Structure formats: structure tokens, C-alpha cells
Amino acid sequence: MNRNKNLLLLSSLGVLALLVAAAVQENILKSWRRIQGAARGEAGPVDVRLRQIVVPGLKAADRCVSCHVGMAPGETGIAGPSVVAAHPPVAHDPGEYGCTACHGGQGRATEEADAHGAAPFWPEPMLEARHAYAGCGTCHTHVRVPNEMALERGQRVFERLDCLACHKLDGRGGTLRPGGAGGMEGPDLSRVGAAGAAVDWYEEHLRKAREGADATWKTCFGPTEEDARRDLDVYLASRVGAPGLVEAKALFHTLGCRGCHKVNGVGGDDGPDLTRAGARDPGRTDFTHVPGAPTLANWQAEHLRDPAKIVPGSLMPALGLTEEQVDGLTFYLLSLRKSGFPEAYWPKDRILAERFGEREFAADGATLYGTFCAACHGAQGQGMRYPGMSVAPAVANADFLAVAADEFIAGTVERGRPGRRMPAWGEKEGGLRPQEVRAVVEHLRALGGVAAAEADTEPPHWAEGDAEAGARLYGAYCAGCHGAAGEGADGPALKNRVLLSTATDTYLAQTIARGRRGTSMPGFGNASTVHPALSAEDTEALVRFIRKWENAP
Amino acid sequence: MSEQERSSSALREFARNLRQAPRRFLETVFRHGPPRTDRTRSTFVFGNVFLHLHAARTHRWSLRWTTTLGLGLVTAAAFVITLVTGVLLMFYYKPYPDVAYQSIKDIHFVVPTGLFMRNVHRWAANVMVVAVILHMARVFYTAAYRAPREFNWVIGMGLLVTTLGLSFTGYLLPWDQLAYWAITIGANIAQSPREITDALGITDWADIGGLQRQLLLGSDVVGEEALIRFYLLHVMLLPLLLVALLAVHFWRVRKDGGLARPADADRRLGPPPADAYPVFTEAPRKTYQLAAVVRGRTAAVGNGPEQTVPSMPHLFYAELGVFMLTTLICLALSLWIDAPLKELANPNVPENPAKAPWYFLGLQECVSFSAFMGGVGIPLIVLAGLGLIPYLDREERGTGVWCGGPGGWPLVRWATLFGLAAAIGVEAFAIRCGWLREWFPDIPQLVITFVNPGTLLAALYALFSLFVVRKQNSVRAGALALFTCFLCGFVVLTIIGTYFRGPNWEFFWSPADWPKH
Amino acid sequence: MTAEARAPRSRLDPEPVTRRDVLGLAALWSAITALGFGLIGSLRLPRAAVLSSPSKKFRVTLPDSLPAGQAFVPPGRAVALFRDAAGVYAVSLICTHLGCVVKSTPTGFECPCHGSRFTLDGTVARGPAPQPLPWHKVTGGGGEYVVDEGANVPQGTRLQA
């Protein structure tokens, strides 16, 4: 009897104690209560309650503002610990888009670890502050991004002309005010690429400098050469309010990453599609070989440094990137987090890219080469060979450009080399358009400094000669590099259907006779220490022999 | 009396009634005074709609802690707790894919007391499953299922199944990866009769498995239709069924004469306490009151000494005490461990390993040998066997005593040893050496369906218990052996499924050895 | 009869209270307290801590051709914007009687539910509405405005265009 009473008494007291503990935990210990308790508004302490931004269109209920009180729409003059500070001015009103659309993280959470996404089972952790602008990639697809060199040229012009004297850019500059004290400073150029600059800005500036009332206008602007203005326009068009992101994207389109990887449907197929490389779930990513914190940024950076170390068996070669390049590419990869937001929320650039086929990269040959070719053929077209992979020829070699007609080069780009790494860029999905191929050819000619191939009046097939003799010669001088059956080794494969159907006999003979200076292909027209000079007949015989492979299976 | 006098007296009466209204109100609520005498204590019990399921007096045997360990009460208490917290959670839960997940997140983060309520709900549900199994074991080991309580044991089976069903249907509702893949597997177990119909080539016109799965999911995938069906089952149909069965179960306990007690309970209890009333010392005025409907004498006549005590308050202290103890356990667990919530369900990325709720992991282990046998065949055989126990064991020795009857404790010890050894042995063999498919890749599925580690284990247990029946010459002894074996098998398989199975349902000594992908 | 004198207590007698049942009372009351505390806690649950309504502030672009005195109702919002010579203002379209959305007419607003009528500036003309339609705070300029449904301004407050 008393045992039951004791049971009841003790369990009841226990229940009461636990309920009190739960109540304390819920009503006193929550960190957002502490933070709001320390915050002061314009009219005294702020009212301590859960706060949120609801965006029905994005299905978002972001409670970040429960702690970051000052970032809530309509809150002004909140003072207190740094966490309650106001949001820095940005293009998008947090009240309209919420927080997680740009920053990631778990908007519904009200505890720091959960909200910032560090907790397990939240696939989208918050972007670190240094990568905050990668969040733009959730909706935006910056189009017509030039390559790194073009951006740098533009930036040099921008600095040379001292535009920052009057204009602000990403919070810098704008110290010199035209019109003296109280006059207007120049417009902020941080987002000029998105808003668009006046077409006649140069003429306007010149006119004002000529007619300017005060000395500042007269001294701060003068005539500028046209080339510099073009570079400057490219640079200004890339100022869209995402500092560093466009530079990172330019880097991606300079190092030739799309040669192997597709992004938004454009690029090669050798590597994984990177369209959502920045939205990977860290919970489903292997961090076994990643030193440091298990964050996606860290994974991407380490993977760029040494792919095979992070993903054992990966085919991606170590690219020998500088730390700066690793940082830039990591930044860009993190921005690849395209969301499924309703189309009503799509910005202009994304609509242009996805509905009107606008390219994400600029249409000039240099950028196109940097986008698709540079990873294998080298930034200067000097050719490359990654360990364990076949050689990628030096496509800007002057000897090559002198014997290769534009049609041959364009045909090679378009039809590729079946069976080898070189894809058929003109035929494959996500490849190059005809005018882009032409631009690439032009760029190669510019790189090699050979304006056009030597004129060739011969028919495509003219070589006659003894194929048997050619076979002997091939075995003696060619097989070492090109393989006994022309399958390629240190040198490129010759037994290739597309190569032999696009190459003329002149091309083959000239290549054998001249070689490719600066590569391991010697010119057999002249004798060297390891081979005698081949006569024209020998060359012809070799061409005949090589031709036999054209129709071989 | 003049007209005026009469009206003024009515007014006075009105005033007096108004003054007395509060007291009268209380008197009408509690029709009798404080429960201080045996009679008022009795009226307290049967004058109250919530309490009148109890007898007015309770046998002292029933109040011993070791008689039941309060397990039935723990189960009922856990059910009440899940009911209350579940109804509260329904304020915020939205049964629609993705939205459901968000509403659970809301419950976690912004609903006042929401996380705590969900934790309590989850833990009370788990406590209920554990308690219902232990309660069944208690009834079995004290042989309390014997006449006249046979049917109540069968009702108890129904309650066990309904409890598991409630737990299982609730598993899908958060719509996270854990839920989605556990239910996907569960639904495919429902489809597993196809293993037989396929083998017989009659699936096209007798697709029982497909029908079951379709009825459960309302579609061919786990989607919004499945969620609303599970929601309906979880908050409506199964709770109603459970309450109905529970009512019958309680009522039967009462009508079958309270808790089972040994024939010599009085001797075991010893003399009643000094202040107990002797039986019918005074004015046995109404010994004949039930004579019209009851055959024989009323239970108490001539059965002295008095071994019953008033249910109010003795039984109610115990019941309330167990209820509060159950609450205490649930609350403590809730404050200690949060209910799990993984990432949003993703039909394209299976969890690996995708595990069912822990109490189904024993079944999932069997399912990994044969979907039909593990998911349908063996459970049905076990349930049928359990339901038959009271009809096969009609002996009388040992009723109401722990491990009573032929064999007793030593037999249970041996059966435990055999049950554990057989389960571990068969599992170890299957894990180490593989099974028929690994040795004869062309073997027909039907052979594997009927000859697999699960059925082998069941057969070993059956043979062992037949051996015990022969040896002890007692059906009860065989039942004791079989039940113990199956309990051991359940425990072993559940532990293996919970702790030693990793991705692709492969064996791992520890989750630390799991491959990372 | 002496036997009767020593007869055991009757079942109908109150149990002799030898001592107060402190333990029993304490147990009972602690159980009641615990359950009551739990009940109070759980009663807090239905009152939502945050409401799922979207931000009260929204952006709106007024068409340049909007004539003075004609209401512009942004889609999905219960606010009418007006532009006249003195500036821009926003009038709530939620009837102050029982919350129906009033219909904007050339002469004012009509409530379809109980027949309240309001003039163009929100003043009650007839019907059961107890208060005029409130004016909301408008900020911004140059055709783009931000209306804050959560902030009311005195009738007649216009934003200088």
C-alpha cells in the first residue's frame, strides 16, 4: 500500500521536475531569446518573440531574423551584439526573397547549428561569408562572361584612367567629387553591368570635360583610344554586383574546364556534369581523404589540388593550379547551385541563357578557346600531356598552322577524333556552333601568328609511291612515337578515320617533311643525328602507307 | 396563504436555491460523500463512468508488484500519452508530401512545446511497443491465458498487431528519408506474396501481393496518396480499433475474474493484515442477490479469509503510480534524445541501409532471406501459433505463477540457451557461408522461399519444442520452450538487424566499418 | 452481548482515522500538480508563435497612365492605391466591420457582406462599419512604391509624388 503511494509520489515529483526542466529549456534557454534580450531598438528593448520572413512564392519561412533581428524588413536602428546588425545594402530586399534563397542554410530552424546547416541531415549548409556571392548562382546565370585576360585588360584600363577618382566600385573610390563640395559624385558602378551603362557615356564624358564648369571635370577626363574603351566596356559589363564571382567564372572559362565538364548542358562529357556542383549534399559526400573541415568548399578546393587523392580512381589529372586559381574555381563551383524556383523569380540573365540560348561565355575566339580547348591543348596552344593520358597536339604551332587549311582545323574541331579524347564539338550535344568554331580557328591563327595556310593547288589525294617501302620507313622512323599500327603513343594516333578523311596528301607530306618545330615531331626533310633526310619519294611512300588506314576498320 | 405571501415565499425560495446552487452543483457531480466507508468506496468506483470498469474490490494478489510488474498498465498509460500528444501534434501537422516535412520542422523549431511533444509522442510509442511485448510475455509466463481468459489472449494479439500498425503508420508521417525508405520497404513486404504467386505463375489473375500494396499505398509509389492513407490509418482507423479492442480487453479482464492467480494464492499471501475485515462477519444480507443470474454461490461465500481490499484507493494509487512512472520514463527519454528527423524524402536517393523501425528489424532480417517468408509467412505462423496457445495448453498446473507448470525455470533457462544458440548459429552460418542461391545460382525461388535461414530457425524451434512436449509430457512445457525460443530469436534478429547490418544489408561489426558511400 | 461489543467494525462505518495519511495526500497532490503543469504547458501549443502570413510590406509599380481618383489594386493584395495632384496614398480594402474585402467603385467602396459603404477616402458613408478604412504607409517614389500594410497613417497623409 505505502509502496504504491511512494511510487506515485516519487514519479509525480520526477514528472514535475522534468516538466519544469523542459519549460526552462523552452522559455528561457533559447539563444534567440538571449540575443533579442540584449538588442535595443529606437524605442527601447525589442520585443522578444520569434520572427520570420515568409516568401510564399519560394516556399520559404526564414527565421534567421529571430537572431539577426536587424536584418528583418522594416527594422531600423537596432543596436546590440553584432549578430543583430542590419544587412549590408544589396540588390535584393531580404523582405522579398528571404535569406536562404541566397545564403543557403535551414531557414525554418531557430538554433544556430541547425539554421547555419552545420547539423547532420541538412543538405544545404550556409555559404561561408567569403563565398557569400556564390549564392547569386541560385538564380543567376551570368552570360557572355569574357575570359580572364580580357577582364584583366579592362581592369587595367579602368585603373589607368583612374575612374575610381569619381566613381565607386564595390565600396571603393569616389573620393573626388566633380562640382566641388556638395556636388554629385559619379554614379556607383558596382552594378553597372546589370543595370546597363548609357551607350554614349564616352561622348557625354568628353563633352562635360570640354564644357565643365570647374577644374575637376576639365582635368579628370580626356580622350581615350578605342581599344581601351572596348576593353573597358567588357569590364564594366561584367560588374553585376557580385564581387569576385565573375572573375571566378572567367577563370573557369579560361582554364578550359568545359572541355571535359558540362555546365547547364554545354561542355564535354569526360567528367561529371557540374551543373549543381555547388549544391551537393555534404552528408552524401565522401570526406575520407579531405583534410580539414568537412565542408563542400574544402572538398572542392582539395579536389582541385589533387583530384585522385580525394576521389580514388578519378581520371581527372592534377592541373597544377595556383592557390589563387584553386580559390577562384572553388568559388565558381560553389555558385553552381541552380534552384528549382518558379520561373516568375528567374532573372533576365537566366531566361536569356535557358530560353534564348545565350552563351554563358563571350563569343570571342580567345574566350571560346579558354572555355573548351585550353585544358588539353594548353593556354597558348602549346600542347599538353597529362600523366596517363594521350598527348594533345600543339594546335598553335606555326608549322601546323602553315600546312593546315582553315577547313581542316574547323573540320577537326567539329568532327573530333573518334576513339580519342578529342570530342566532335560540332556534332555533340552541348558543343560549339559553326560561327564559334570559326572564331576558335581565327584565335588559333592569332596565337600561332600564321594568318593563313600556304596555298595548296594539289588535289587531296595525289601521293603515289610504294606502300611497302612506306611501311618499312614507318617502322623505322614513325612507329616509335605514333605506334606500330598508327594507334598513337607519345605522338598522336594516325590511324584515325576523321584525320585521314580531312587531311590532304599535301598536309601529310608537308607535316612529315617540316615536322613541328618546338614539339617532339622532327622535320624529316632534313637529316638529324637520329635520322637521315627523307627524299620526296620516301615521303610520298609514307603518305601512301598511312593512307591505307583510312578505310581500315 | 394570500397571493402575495405565496409569491414572496417563491421569491425567497429562489434566493435560497441560488445561494445553495454551488453546493448543490457539487453534490450532483459527486453523488456520494468522501470515500471513507466500504460502501462509499464502492460507490466511488461504480458511480464513476471512467472507473466503473474496475471491480469495487481488488484481490491482494493482484496488487503484488511481481504479479504483473504493471506492464499492462504501462502499455495503456503509454497509449494515453501518445493519444494526448498525438492530438496536440495534429494542430500543426499537414499530411502532404514536402509540406509534411516542413510542418515537422515547424513543430521542431517554432511551435510552443512542439519539439518536446513530438519527442514524448515518439518515445511513448516506443515504450508502448516494448511494454506490449513484455506484457504478452508476462501473461504467457504466468500462464494467465488459461480458461476462462483464452479469448482475452486473442484480443491481446489483436492489440499487439494494432500497436505495431500504429507505430508503423506513424513512421511515414514526417516524410523524411528515414520514413520514406522504411515505408517503401514495408509496402514491398506487403507485396511479397507475389514471390509465391510468381513462382506458381498465377500472378496475372491472383495478385494478392500487388493488391495489398496498392491498397496500402493507393498508388504504385510512396507518394501523396500513401501519405494520406497512412495519416488516416494513424490518426483515425487504428486508434479507433485500438480503443475498441482495449475496451473489450479491459472488460474481459474484469469479467474473467480479474487477474489470474494461483489456486493457493491465499496460502502464498499469508494471513490478511490485522485491520482487514473478515468476510461477511456482519449482516450478510445480500449473499443471494445474484442468485438469479449466477450459477452456484457468489465467489466470496465461504472463501475466507477476506483477501480483497477496496479498489478505492488501493488499486488507484497503483494505477496512477504506474501512469506517472510511465510518463516519467517518456519525459526523461524525450529530454535526453530528440526524435529523429533526417533530410527531406528523396525518391531518387535511397537510404543505405534503409531500415524499418527497430521492432521490425528482426523481420527485416528474415526478409533479407525471403521477402514472403520473412515479411508474411513467418509472422503469420508466429501469430497463429501465439493465438492457439490457450487452446492447446489446457493444463491447470502453474496458473498465475511465473514460469509455472511442468519444466518451470530450468526449462526456460534451457530454452533460452537453445533459442539464442540456434538463432546466432543459423545467422552466423548464413552470414559466413551464404545460402542456397550462392551455392546453386540456378535454384528456383520457391525452394529459397521455403528453405531459408528464417524458416530453418523456425523449424529448429518447433522441433525443440516438440522434443520438450515429449520429454516433459506436457503441452505447457512445449509452449514454454517455443515461446522462449521465439522471444530469443526475436531479440537476436532484432539486435543483428539494428546494430550489425550496414549498407546493402551486409554484416558489419560496427557502424564505424561502414563504407562511406 | 459481549461478543457483539467486540464485533469487528462494520463495513458501513467510516474507517477510524488513526493518523492523517500524509504520504497518500502528498502523492495525490503531487500527481495533480504534475498533470496540471503538463496540461498548462500543452495548452500553450495551439497558440502559434509565428504566423505564416507573408510580409506585410510589398513593392508596387503604379502605371503612369493612372488617372487621379481611380483605384489601382495590386494583384493579390487588399489595398487600393491612388494618385492625385497631392501625391500617392494607399487605402486598405479590408472592411472594418467583419473583414470582408470591399469592392472599389468610382464613388468609393462597397462591402458585399453587410452593405457598408465608404467614400473614396475611406470614410464610412453608411452601414455597420464602425471605423473608416485605414490608410497604409507608402514610401518610395518615381512610380515604384513600397506599401506597408502593417503601418497605418492618418487619413489624408499622401506621399509627395
Mean pLDDT by 10 residues, chain A (553 residues): 89 96 92 93 88 89 93 83 88 86 93 88 89 93 91 92 83 62 67 85 86 72 88 91 91 94 92 92 87 91 93 89 95 93 90 92 94 93 85 90 92 90 89 94 92 84 85 89 86 88 90 89 86 87 89 70
| CATH architecture of the domain with range B52-273+310-350 | Up-down Bundle (1.20)
pLDDT for the residue numbered B283: 41
Query: Once rounded to an integer, what is the mean pLDDT over residues B197-215?
Result: 88
pLDDT for the residue numbered B300: 53
All structural domains of chain A, each given as residue ranges with its CATH number in brackets, are 33-126 (no CATH), 148-237 (no CATH), 245-355 (2.60.40.420), 365-448 (1.10.760.10), 467-551 (1.10.760.10)
Residue pairs spanning A and C at CB distance below 8 A: 61
Q: Which H/E stretch holds residue B426? A: helix B408-433
Contacts (Cβ under 8 Å, ≥6 apart) of B266: B305, B307
Are A5 and C30 inside 8 Å of each other by CB?
no
Query: Could you tell me how many residues make up chain C?
Result: 161
pLDDT for the residue numbered A50: 92
**Helices A2-27 & B311-336, crossing angle to 10 degrees?**
30
Which of B42, B93, B94, B113 is most worth mutating to test chain C (most C CB atoms within 10 A of its CB)? B113
Characterize A70-85 residue by residue with b for buried, 16 or more Cβ atoms within 10 angstroms of its Cβ, and e for exposed.
bbbbebeebebeebbe
Task: Name the closest residue on chain A to residue B342, using Cα atoms.
Answer: A121
Q: Return the residue matching grid coordinates 512445449.
A: B478
Q: What 3-state class would DSSP assign to B159?
A: helix
- Contact (CB, 8 A) for B276 and B309: yes
Kindly state whether A531 is in contact with chain B, defined as any CB-CB distance less than 8 angstroms.
no
- Identify the CATH homologous superfamily for domain C57-153: Rieske [2Fe-2S] iron-sulphur domain (2.102.10.10)
The pLDDT of residue B172 is above 50: yes
Query: Once rounded to an integer, what is the mean pLDDT over residues C60-77?
Result: 85
Chain A residues closer than 8 Å to B102 by CB: 59, 61, 108
pLDDT in tens, B442-499: 888 888 888 889 999 999 999 999 999 999 999 999 999 999 999 999 999 999 999 9
Chain A residues closer than 8 Å to B106 by CB: 61, 108
- The answer, yes or no, to whether the previous bond of B511 is cis (omega within 30 of 0) is no
Average pLDDT along chain B: 88
Residue type, B423: A
- Contact (CB, 8 A) for A344 and A135: no
Q: Return the domain boundaries, chain C.
A: 2-43, 57-153
Closest CB to A15: pick one of B324, B341, B517: B324
Query: Once rounded to an integer, what is the mean pLDDT over residues B46-51?
Result: 85
Are B517 and A114 inside 8 Å of each other by CB?
no
> What is the grid cell recorded at A80?
546590440
Q: Return the domain boundaries, chain B.
A: 52-273+310-350, 352-517
The pLDDT of residue B137 is above 80: yes
pLDDT for the residue numbered A10: 96
Question: What is the DSSP pairing of strand A60-62 with strand A44-45?
Answer: unpaired
d(CA C9, CA A381): 115
Chain B residues closer than 8 Å to C51 by CB: none
pLDDT in tens, B221-234: 899 999 999 999 99
pLDDT in tens, B66-92: 999 999 999 999 999 999 999 999 999
pLDDT for the residue numbered C40: 93
B457 closest CA partner among B374, B371, B397, B399: B374
Confidence band (pLDDT; 50, 70, 90) for B303?
low
Kindly state whether A528 is in contact with chain C, defined as any CB-CB distance less than 8 angstroms.
no
d(CA A189, CA B85): 58
d(CA A144, CA A347): 15
The pLDDT of residue C53 is above 90: no
Task: Name the closest residue on chain C to residue B282, using Cα atoms.
Answer: C10
Least confident of A347-361, B288-302, C96-110: B288-302
Chain C residues closer than 8 Å to A345 by CB: none
* CA–centroid distance for B454 within its chain: 24
pLDDT for the residue numbered B289: 45
Half-sphere exposure of B68 (CA within 13 A, CB side): 22
DSSP string covering B264-279 = THHHHH-SPPTTSPPT
Share of chain B above pLDDT 70, in %: 93
- Contact (CB, 8 A) for A374 and A174: no
Are A123 and B343 inside 8 Å of each other by CB?
yes
DSSP string covering A277-308 = GGG--GGGS--TT--S---HHHHHHHHHH-HH
Higher pLDDT, B124 or B26: B124
pLDDT in tens, C76-95: 889 999 988 888 999 999 99
**Helices A323-334 & A296-305, crossing angle to 10 degrees?**
140
Q: Quickly count: other Cβ atoms within 10 Å of residue A513's Cβ.
A: 19
Residue type, B228: I
Are B318 and A15 inside 8 Å of each other by CB?
no
> What is the grid cell recorded at B75?
502499455
pLDDT for the residue numbered C1: 35
pLDDT in tens, B391-440: 999 888 888 899 988 888 999 999 999 999 999 999 999 998 888 888 88
Confidence band (pLDDT; 50, 70, 90) for B292?
very low
- Contact (CB, 8 A) for B245 and B159: yes
DSSP string covering A167-199 = -EETTEE--S-TTSTTSPPPPP-TTHHHH---T
- Which subunits sit against A, judged by 3+ Cβ pairs under 8 A? B, C
Query: Once rounded to an integer, what is the mean pLDDT over residues B282-308?
Result: 52
Are B117 and C12 inside 8 Å of each other by CB?
no
Chain A residues closer than 8 Å to B515 by CB: none
Question: What is the DSSP pairing of strand C124-126 with strand C108-110?
Answer: unpaired
pTM: 0.87
DSSP string covering B30-55 = S-S--S-SHHHHHHHHHTSTTTTTS-
pLDDT for the residue numbered B274: 64
Chain C residues closer than 8 Å to A6 by CB: 23, 27
Q: Which H/E stretch holds residue B463? A: helix B453-472
The pLDDT of residue B285 is above 50: no
